[in-house]
Amino acid sequence: NGAPTTLAVALPGLLLQDGLSRLGLPKNAGPREAKLKYRELSLALHPDKNQGQASQDEMARINVGLGYVRDFFEAARTAGQLAMQDDADEREDADSELDRAVSSRKPREISHALDTVGRVATPEKVMYARGLLAQLDWEAKQEEERKSAEVLKQRAAEMQEARRNGPGSPFASACSESSTGTEVMS
């Protein structure tokens, strides 16, 4: 099924503990301590200084121990690098999505992009998108106010025209309906 077994998940940690134990180190020792301890032990157990099978066996034991420790920390470092690369790729994709939405200058698209990728994108991109969204909102309100002002000017002009043309003109009836509140502004 592709899911790691319990042994596969636990094995690296068990090998690390075995490696540290072979070197005579505590469970919380790191790669630096392991390297220093290995140097110390290898100098003491080196075949040039010690003859016999016991010395060779002990040297092989600490070699395996250091190998386990190195493998564990190398795998952890590699996993960390892969996770960092995944994060960078995700951030790059989020930035691209935000850039696309910003270039559209459509508030709905920008807002949607901020909702979906805003937590991952770089802070600068998010701040720019939020600023643009605020600017577009302000511009839309300004345009709405401008249109309302135009409608009011047009109504005022119609009312003046009706007053000039007298009570029988078509403008006068529109003016009287407007002043009585029977007409609804659109």
Mean pLDDT per 10-residue interval, the chain, length 186 residues = 53 80 88 90 84 86 88 83 82 92 92 89 91 94 95 93 75 56 48
Please tell me the predicted confidence (pLDDT) of residue 186. Answer: 45
Please tell me the predicted confidence (pLDDT) of residue 173. Answer: 59
List the domain boundaries for the chain.
6-89
Q: Which two tokens stand for residue 94?
A: 């989020």
Please tell me the predicted confidence (pLDDT) of residue 2. Answer: 53
Please tell me the predicted confidence (pLDDT) of residue 31. Answer: 85
The CATH-assigned architecture of domain 6-89 is Orthogonal Bundle (1.10)
Q: Which two tokens stand for residue 43?
A: 């100098």
Q: Which two tokens stand for residue 185?
A: 């502004």
Please tell me the predicted confidence (pLDDT) of residue 53. Answer: 85
Task: Please state whether 53 falls in left (phi above 0), alpha (psi between -120 and 50) or beta.
Answer: alpha
Print burial letters for 56-88: b (CB count within 10 Å at least 16), e (below 16): eebbeebeebbebbbebbeeeeeeeeeeeeeee
* Cα–Cα distance for residue pair 169/165, rounded to 1 Å: 6
Angle at alpha carbon of residue 45, lines to 44 and 48, rounded to 5°: 100
Please tell me the predicted confidence (pLDDT) of residue 170. Answer: 60
- Residue 140's contacts (CB-CB under 8 Å, 6 or more residues apart) are 107
